[in-house]
Structure 1
Amino acid sequence: MSEPKTPTTPAGDTYKGWVFKWTNYIKGYQRRWFVLSNGLLSYYRTQAEMGHTCRGTINLATATITVDDACNFVISNGGAQTYHLKASCEVERQRWITALELAKAKAANMQAESDDSGDDFSSSSPPAAHGQSGAAQNSEVQSALRTLGSKVEDLTTCNDLISKHGSALQRSLTELDSLRLTGEAGDKIRQVTERATLFRITSNAMINACRDFLALAQAHSKRWQKALQAEREQRVRLEETLEQLAKQHNHLERAFRGAAQANASADSKSTAGPGKGEASDEDEDDNEFFDAMEENPEFITVPADPQFHKRSSSNVSGFNSEMCSDDQSLNEEPLAMSQESPSQELVPLKKRRTRIPDKPNYSLNLWSIMKNCIGKELSKIPMPVNFNEPISMLQRLSEDLEYHELLDKAAKCHSSLEQMCYVAAFSVSSYSTTVHRTGKPFNPLLGETYELDRRRESGYRSLCEQVSHHPPAAAHHVISDRGWTLRQEITVASKFRGKYLSIMPLGTIHAIFGKNNHHYTWKKVTTTVHNIIVGKLWIDQSGEIDIVNHTTGDRCHLKFAPYSYFSRDVARKVTGVVMDKDGKAHYVLSGTWDEKMELSRVMQSSRGGENGTEGKQKTVYQTLKAREVWRRNPLPDGAETMYFFTALALTLNESEDGVAPTDSRRRPDQRLMEDGRWEEANTEKQRLEEKQRSVRREREREAASQRTSSQSEDGAHHDSHQAIWFERCEDRITGEHIHIYKGGYWEAKDRGSWEGCPDIF
């Protein structure tokens, strides 16, 4: 490795050069090319990367710079970013420290000026249009000119007074001079006269210069305004160009990602998997994409010994037949589904629709809306319907039932471990609808409901109700004639982080099977929406799910691997292990959350050798051949013009007679958006939200007048709103305070009586 070059300062405030940066404990310090410009410190692996790939940037305005020793120094930005750097010598380190401190001071001053200029604007106000901004700035220029003119008038007045008093002073001095005083007194009088004359000339020159400056300012003000407008238009063009470049960059990323996956699938046939050292050179550099080194599986699966496959050779391909023969070869009970004849589906009451109006192509400047929303809760941001899809969050919850047949099969299983496999596949299947669904569902109004009656077609009935507005919470209850019940209360916590949006569903999902009274619970993982500002939106799911059977103690641990540029593994990967109450593994699950899941029966397990990461050991499972347990349904034709809705999603907002007046199908702004009338939908959405706020204020006034505080036992404040079809109680399994269906909805529908429903639309 060649010696680092001395930092250079080619122009202005730009400062660049080679510095050693700490990467990780394996590779230690690595040489990186750093560039300091406009208060930002960025770095690259090489100088050639400056044109296309920045490895990281830190804003010096809020950063702290500390010196460790003769050559080392640390730059930290509030804990979110920390660079441990080392210069080649103490002189070079001092040059960098001097440049960084100077850049930090300038950046802090610029930020303070920017903050001062923005104090008059409310953070909750929508951003002004370009014309309004230009008018405001023109008004500021005119005000400044008027102020300047008044000051010049003040100077003119002073000039007149100076001239008046100066003339009087000169006359007095002339009179003194006419006395023909001799000696020292005469010299003093002549000296004072000369100084008075010089003072009057200088004062006149100053006033004339101020008057000329005012004339020039008035003459050039229009030219300045035109130049300012031209700069503003240039900025808009640059923003549009940046967006186009980001889209092209995203397209190239996707192409590269597809090629990498193809190579990974080819490599997986010849090798056991990528080595850890090949994963990434930068482990902590990118906050948006996760560390590829963490994506190594926690276990390894290998084919079981031939003795376990004695009868496998005669089996036909397919889940049921293979599982049955393999289970019987182990003298264990076969899967219940292998003993059944195909189920007879009931004829549906009506033909469901297969299309909705195509999505209009409306342009919108996303940054103009989102730039003032960074760090806020998504539910508190007033968003136009341009970012929505014509469906509510209650309907999105109902979409979890698209693969309800997995629960139907689980209800018929005799083995709790087999049942756990189906429940785990069901928990993964609910994410398959999100891979292309970048639109935001409508936030339900308080008291809004949604029913999904598929009893004749699929044997289940589903009911959702928005039971809380802040925080937004929806209760969901499903009961099936085929032996299972599903219930959940989901509260969504979300944060906009500038480059991406994190959505964290809070709440527990319960599945209860009546045949054996098995009760399962699990939670949802985090959803991340990337490329919020520029580029093509894409969604990732990451985190871990623990599914617990509270009746038997069986558990399933699922891991959703986050996407990484540097991983050679398949994208959107999900892995899991089904274990009994004693921790013994019985099944291994693997697949992707957007395509399919497979399971393999575990024959033997053993602890492998150290995998090289902090002495951890992987478990090696010997398994039978993997069998498919779930596969995603194909999207309908033309889905790309219909918000990428699935066949079930296309029917969710279909008009239906007999539903409650609070049903999401009756929501006018959502219906207008589905019909393509987005401007009217935005107007209607604002009306509904203001109506909801008015009702809430009235409810709070009534509660205050009655001096009844909606204070819970734990001291937390809650809205006094009472749900219609759900009641709040403590869950005996999890100990959480949740809303559970209290009954009455379907009976009210049969009677056609909805007296207790509020007027929310």
Structure 2
Amino acid sequence: MANLSGEARITPDIDAQRLGNLALEDSSTDGYIFNSQADLEEIKMQRQAIWDLLKYLGTHVLREGINLTKISLPVKVFEPRSFLQRLTDNWAYIDLLEKAVNAADPVERMQYMVAFVIGGLRRQTSTLKPFNPILGETYQGIYCSGWRVFAEQISHHPPISSWQVLDPEGKFQFSGYGNWKASARGNSIKGQQSGLNKVSFSRDGAVIEWELPSLLLRGILWGERSLKYSGTITFRDELNALQCDVTIDGSKQSFVSSLWHGKSGAKKLDQLHGTLRKGGKVVSTVRGSWLTAVEWEEGGLGSSSLRVWDAAKAPVHVPKPVTDPLPSDSRFRQDLHALQEGDQDEAQEWKSRLEHVQRSDAAMRAVGQQAAGL
């Protein structure tokens, strides 16, 4: 049985210290580059496993692409965690959410929320894939602050996860759902966790909503591996007439942002820019990089800026497992436990068994729904 003990941790982000000491103008030109020794070793192992899989599937995959949520991958490309637990990596800088909860000014609250979400993107730079959750699988965790995490897999095809982060004092409720879509074509993977995220604040009844951007992972089979996000994240607080549009991918920066960064800065794909409006009027401007930092500027160009998130200095928060999990908790999965113990053969065997059970259950549900006229 998997070990359910553990402690909630607040740790420094060692990898971020390498990136976070850079000025925004000196950040990467192609997103996050996987070039550490550990990354390179994992990538070498993954590529061999993927090439073996491609030989099995056929070369048409390279031409036509494939939906990665519907294919059984070898355990060599996985980390010993379920996607439900991996979700919490997005909330590693949860102290920023706490600052948002305690902020009396709605504008300041929105600024912290934007930094909380952007910071979470840089935590998704693992080379390993989490295990796909089984329908009905759950995960429960708790942060040092006492905030509790509840996650559940509510759909198999399409794969949809839902979650809540709750404060025992009732100051807020963070909830959402995600339908993870990923497709491979040639030497890259394009993916997105589509679905609404929202935080409800009891202080004034406000609700802030947003969705995550798409990502592109290059160098799957050969060459340098890199990860970049692109798109616009729109944060909305209808109660206070606030909207913040943050665009990621410096190649698409606006004219105003180019005045900040200069001509060369417009090519930095990890950089972001955006405006916070109240009732349609710009009240603050944001710039930064999802790899390094988020800065807000009040009062237009030339005003002093405030860095609210700095990856080189910000602590990383990791929830600990609860001591009384449901029997459906991710940590009871035999394939995960075997991989944690380093037994890839047993992990692969259990993974195949569980996938067979999922397919059988899905077939029986389809028969039952047809019989019921659904």
Separation of aligned partners in 2, 1:661 and 1:373: 38
Matches within 5 A, 1:676-755: 676-704=342-370, 707-710=371-374
Does residue 444 of structure 1 match 2:133? yes
1:81-125 deviation digits (Å, cap 9, x = unpaired): xxxxxxxxxxxxxxxxxxxxxxxxxxxxxxxxxxxxxxxxxxxxx
Name the residue aligned to 2:51.
367
Counterpart residue type for residue 188 of structure 2 = Y
Contact 2:162 2:178 in 1 (8 A): yes
Counterpart residue type for residue 297 of structure 2 = S
* Among candidates 282, 287, 290, match of residue 585 of structure 1: 282
Structure 2: state its 5+ residue gaps.
Answer: 1-18, 32-40, 253-262
Separation of aligned partners in 1, 2:239 and 2:113: 14
How far is the alpha carbon of 1:444 from its aligned partner?
A: 0.4
Name the residue aligned to 1:523.
211
Separation of aligned partners in 2, 1:647 and 1:389: 19
Does residue 626 of structure 1 match 2:305? yes
When the two structures are superposed, what TM-score results if normalisation uses the length of structure 2? 0.79
Separation of aligned partners in 1, 2:200 and 2:314: 30
Contact 2:93 2:317 in 1 (8 A): no
How far is the alpha carbon of 1:503 from its aligned partner?
A: 0.3
* Among candidates 546, 549, 556, match of residue 234 of structure 2: 546
Counterpart residue type for residue 464 of structure 1 = A
Name the residue aligned to 1:400.
90
Does residue 472 of structure 1 match 2:159? yes
Q: SS at the partner of 2:135? A: coil
Q: Compute the RMSD of aligned alpha carbons.
A: 3.0
Q: 1:265 to 1:444 in 2, by over 3 A?
A: closer
Name the residue aligned to 2:201.
513
How far is the alpha carbon of 1:526 from its aligned partner?
A: 0.5
Q: 1:379 to 1:536 in 2, by over 3 A?
A: same
Separation of aligned partners in 2, 1:391 and 1:686: 16
Name the residue aligned to 1:343.
none
Higher relative contact order (CA closer than 8 Å, sequence separation 6+): 2
Name the residue aligned to 1:502.
190
Separation of aligned partners in 1, 2:190 and 2:82: 19
Q: 1:635 to 1:460 in 2, by over 3 A?
A: closer
Q: 1:629 to 1:647 in 2, by over 3 A?
A: closer
Structure with the largest fraction of strand: 2
Contact 2:61 2:185 in 1 (8 A): no
When the two structures are superposed, what TM-score results if normalisation uses the length of structure 1? 0.40
Give % identity: 26
How far is the alpha carbon of 1:555 from its aligned partner?
A: 0.5
* Among candidates 142, 145, 160, match of residue 453 of structure 1: 142
Which protein shows a greater Rg? 1
Separation of aligned partners in 1, 2:43 and 2:366: 40
Separation of aligned partners in 2, 1:372 and 1:434: 29
Matches within 5 A, 1:479-498: 479-481=166-168, 483-498=171-186
How far is the alpha carbon of 1:359 from its aligned partner?
A: 7.7
Counterpart residue type for residue 476 of structure 1 = W
Separation of aligned partners in 1, 2:187 and 2:75: 21
Contact 1:502 1:528 in 2 (8 A): yes
Q: 1:498 to 1:709 in 2, by over 3 A?
A: farther
Contact 2:43 2:127 in 1 (8 A): no
How far is the alpha carbon of 1:675 from its aligned partner?
A: 2.0
Name the residue aligned to 1:575.
273
Q: SS at the partner of 1:389? A: strand
Q: SS at the partner of 1:414? A: coil
Equivalences, count: 324
Structure with the largest fraction of helix: 1
Contact 1:462 1:479 in 2 (8 A): yes
Separation of aligned partners in 2, 1:586 and 1:377: 42
Moved over 3 A (4+): 358-363, 370-374, 633-636
Counterpart residue type for residue 595 of structure 1 = T
Separation of aligned partners in 2, 1:501 and 1:628: 32
Contact 2:244 2:275 in 1 (8 A): yes
